[in-house]
Structure 1
Amino acid sequence: MKKLIYLLIISVLYSCSGVKKTQESLNTGNYINAINSSISKLSENKTKKGNQEYIYILQDAFTKNAKRELENIKFLVKDNNPANYEKIFNAYNSLQDIQNRIEPLLPLYLMKEGKDATFQFKDYSDDIVKTKTKLSDYLYVNASNLLSSAINKNDYRKAYDDLMYLNQINPNYKDTNTKIEEAYQKGVDYVEVQLLNDTEMVIPKKLEEDLLNFNTYGLNDLWTTYHANPQNNINYDYALQVKFDNILISPEQISEKEFVKEKQVKDGWKYVLDEKGNVKKDTLGNDIKVDNFKTVRCNFYRFTQRKDVQISGTVSYFDLKTNQQTNSYPLTSGYIFEHQYANYSGDKRALESDFLNLTTLKQIPFPSNEQMIYDAGEDLKNNIKNILVKYRLN
């Protein structure tokens, strides 16, 4: 019972806290937050007595927000600046969206007043359409002018952003899709990828192909395109050079470690004797017997095969317009081959299960140097990706 009362008190306090925070949003002019919180609560249960305050808050916040937004729109229209079209368009859409979210909740009954809450809805569809037309014209003209007067790639990217937004609010407007493609092609950085091997070791062909396949890197970089096989019809902006300076491969090693293991194991049974050396009897007169234990011993020999490779180099960017190196970053990678097996002499009952498992394994052939380099490829690829993500061109 006490637990139930405690939970009830906590629930009431939590509810009061939610109303208080929503009221604070209303009082400080954060009408959108007050509207969102009220709609969220009323969507859960609009007839709950504890949610009555949210109806009053929603009614007040809706009216005040609409008044403020319409006054702001009136000012922006009076300012007569085409750059304001987006703000006006978004404001009308916000007003319409709020109405659309409140409408499914209606009617909202005010218990104290014995009537439904009042919301003065307005149809903003004509305003949205008219503003969208003006905004579309503005975005199209502005992006077209930017395309024709662009000085650098950032100008093309700004035009691309405007055109993508235009296509979002007004799909297939004029030749927007064609201009989007033009802006993208002129705004993207084309990078020629080069792989250089300054070591005395051979880089496996499959590893070269994996490293140069930038489609598998998951870079998600809109404005950078990497080509391992340069195309004649593209003027490349940068070269990305992945250079290997040193590849160190250790000798094949087998190390041995000996363990001496002892354990008490059950070995038959024995009689329990009293102080005089006679066999003890239980209450039924039977001889008392107990398990007999003895210490067993085993010499365990664990062998570890090991071979490792360390690769070092650099990842460098070159500006092909100036033929200057712009940045260079160290690249390191490694791979360790390790295999364990074991044998023993003595009583294997002294060994734990993980030791016993090793005794079932045998020595295996060491990987070739070429295989070691290839096995380091996954780590190498991740390190190259980390450099490309951390030090983007744009």
Structure 2
Amino acid sequence: MKTISRLRYFLYLSILIVGCTTGKNALQKGNYDLSVFKAIDRLKNAPKNEEALYVLPIAYDLALKEHLRKIDEAKLSSDVLRWETVLGHYQKINQLSDEVNSSPVALGLIKNPSKYINEVEDSKIKAAEVRYALGLNQLNENNRASAKNAYYNFEKAQYFYPAYKDVSQKLDEAYWAAVLKIVVQPVRVNSSYYQLSNQYFQDQVAQFMKNYQQNRFVIFYSEQQANQQKVNPDQILRLNFEDFIVGQTYVKERVEKIRRDSVVIGETRTKAKIYGTVTATLSIFDKQVSSSGLLAMTIFDNQTQRIIRQQNIPGTYIWQDSWANYHGDERALTNQQLQMTRRREIAPPPPATLFVEFTKPIYAQLVNEISNFYNRY
């Protein structure tokens, strides 16, 4: 009985798989294009497959009629972008034709499959014409949001028909009307001693601004670039280290009384080991050198002369060192404790290095803050 059940299961599974690969299931579900592609694919591997031979002409005829019906409906609709719908259906018909032509068996079943080359080209021109007209109207509104929409429409027009009128020029015009230009002032620090360390942070910021690509409609300029290119900025980004402390030192001592039993402390005349208890006093020193600062980020609207964003970004870096010494019997110590006693106090990095270190977490937060803010534009 189990053998019969298994045979039925595999027979059912085989029928289901064949139905899927021949396109029969897709045909029954009304997915005529997929049915055509599956049937042809099956015939390429099994030219005499009866189910695929039966499915293909029916599926192709229904697919063609469906696309032509949707083309007629789109042409009669009031949708301003109707030519893109028309174009899409003509292209799908042509894909079906190419697929039929790729199989001698399919071509024997479907003589001269329909192909609409001229209609595709005509639809592309009409689709580009609509997008171009929309772009012109939006560009004439003379505001950044409309210029951005105009850019997208000109981009679509160029995609449909690259040589359409002066679309490349209009695309460039819309872009520069839509782009937000930001001048980033040099990072300021109120100490001449840390100017060199501040330059490292400045270089990091400059590199980020140069490589920024998250929003194509946002461009950052240094003051030098803005002056050279005569850029009138929309916004000004100011970065100042308002407050910082470098090299604040804390040393903490911990004293531990250590006792270990069953330690070999000698031997008898007969060489027998003598066990006893050993003790030691361990002093552990933990040293921390803390450096921290606060970066003030201000975004200034150059048109309204107002501050539109203000944020204080903190950063901290803690340098640590540990060492120890002991009094008593070293055998009371673990290997790790003994290693600590062999270490000596080391000098912390110089202040300039500590300044650089606390700016690293500030830089990470700054990048995130700027990215989130300008993603809205």
Counterpart of 2:363 (choices 359, 363, 381) is 381
- Secondary structure, counterpart of 1:365 in structure 2: coil
Q: 1:163 to 1:351 in 2, by over 3 A?
A: same
CA-CA distance at 1:387 after TM superposition: 1.0
Q: Which of 174, 178, 197 in structure 2 is aligned with 1:183?
A: 174
Q: Is the 8 A contact 1:261 1:351 kept in 2?
A: no
Question: Which of the numbers 205, 209, 215 marks the counterpart of 2:203?
Answer: 209
Give the superposition deviation at 1:325: 1.6
CA separation in 1, counterparts of 2:333 and 2:284? Answer: 15
Q: How many residues align?
A: 357
Is 1:74 matched with 2:57? no
1:217–1:385: 8 Å Cα contact kept in structure 2? Answer: no
Aligned-partner residue type, residue 123 of structure 1: K
Q: Distance in 1 between matches of 2:219 and 2:273?
A: 76
Residue in structure 2 matching 1:308, options 290, 310, 321? 290
1:77-116 to structure 2, matched below 5 A, reads: 77-79=75-77, 83-97=81-95, 100=98, 107=105
State the match for 2:145 in structure 1. 154
TM-score w.r.t. length of structure 2: 0.71
Q: Does 1:128 align with 2:124?
A: no
Offset of 1:268 from its aligned partner? 12
Counterpart of 1:253 in structure 2 is 250
Cα 1:301/1:263, change in 2 over 3 Å: farther
The CA deviation string for residues 92-123 of structure 1, in whole angstroms up to 9 with x for no partner, is 22333455467657758xxxxxxx98698421
Letter in 2 for 1:88: V
CA distance in 2, matches of 1:119, 1:219: 51
Q: What does residue range 1-394 of structure 1 map to in structure 2 within 5 Å?
A: 39=38, 63-79=61-77, 83-97=81-95, 100=98, 107=105, 121-147=113-139, 149-195=140-186, 197=188, 202=194, 204-215=198-209, 218-229=212-223, 231-232=226-227, 233-249=230-246, 251-258=248-255, 260=258, 262=260, 301-342=283-324, 346-347=329-330, 351-352=334-335, 358=340, 361-392=343-374, 393-394=376-377
Structure 1 356/35 Cα, relative in aligned 2: closer, same or farther at 3 Å?
Answer: farther
Residue identity in the other structure for 1:254: V
CA positional deviation for 1:303: 3.4
Answer with 245-254 or 118-127: which moved more: 118-127
Asked whether the equivalents of residues 100 and 110 of structure 2 are also in contact (C-alpha less than 8 Å), the reply is no
Query: Residues 86 and 10 from structure 1, CA distance in 2 versus in 1: closer, same or farther, beyond 3 angstroms?
Result: same
2 CA distance for matches of 1:61 and 1:326?
60
Deviation at 1:337, TM superposition (A): 1.6
Stretches of structure 2 lacking an aligned partner (at least 5 in a row): none
Task: Provide the identity percentage.
Answer: 17
Mapped contact 1:39–1:102 kept (Cα < 8 A): no
Q: 1:351 to 1:136 in 2, by over 3 A?
A: same
Contact 2:315/2:360 (CA < 8 Å) preserved in 1?
Answer: no
Counterpart CA distance in 2 for 1:340 and 1:18 is 73
Query: Aligned letter for 1:136?
Result: A
TM-score w.r.t. the length of structure 1 is 0.69
Q: Indicate conservation of the 8 Å contact 1:246/1:313, yes or no.
A: yes
Q: CA deviation at 1:17?
A: 10
Name the CA distance, whole Å, in 1 between partners of 2:304 and 2:86: 45
Mark the CA change 1:141 to 1:304 in structure 2 (over 3 Å): closer, same or farther. same
Cα shift at 1:336: 1.8
Q: Which amino acid aligns with 1:75?
A: E
Q: CA deviation at 1:77?
A: 2.1
Distance in 1, matches of 2:165 and 2:209, equals: 33
User: Take 1:11 and 1:389, find their aligned partners in 2: how far apart are those partners?
Assistant: 58
Per the alignment, do residues 17 and 107 of structure 1 end up closer, same or farther by CA in structure 2, a change over 3 Å counting? closer
Q: State the shift of 1:71 in Å.
A: 1.0
Q: What is the RMSD computed on CA atoms of the aligned residues?
A: 4.9
1:282-333 CA-partner distances (Å, limit 9, x unpaired): xxxxxxxx99998877765543331122222443322211111223234222
Question: 2-side partners of 1:9 and 1:207: how far apart?
Answer: 69
Encode CA deviations 1:248-286: one digit per residue, 9 max, x unaligned: 34522233345548597899999xxxxxxxxxxxxxxxx
Gaps of 5+ in 1: 109-115, 271-289
Question: Residue 71 of structure 1 aligns to which amino acid in structure 2?
Answer: R
Change in 2 beyond 3 A, CA 1:208/1:196: closer
Question: Judging changes above 3 Å, is the alpha-carbon distance between structure 1 residues 192 and 257 closer, same or farther for their aligned structure 2 residues?
Answer: same
Q: Could you report, residue by residue, the CA deviation over 1:220-249 in whole angstroms, capped at 9, with x for unpaired residues? A: 221111112252311111122234332234
Q: Provide the secondary structure at the position in 2 that maps to 1:317.
A: strand
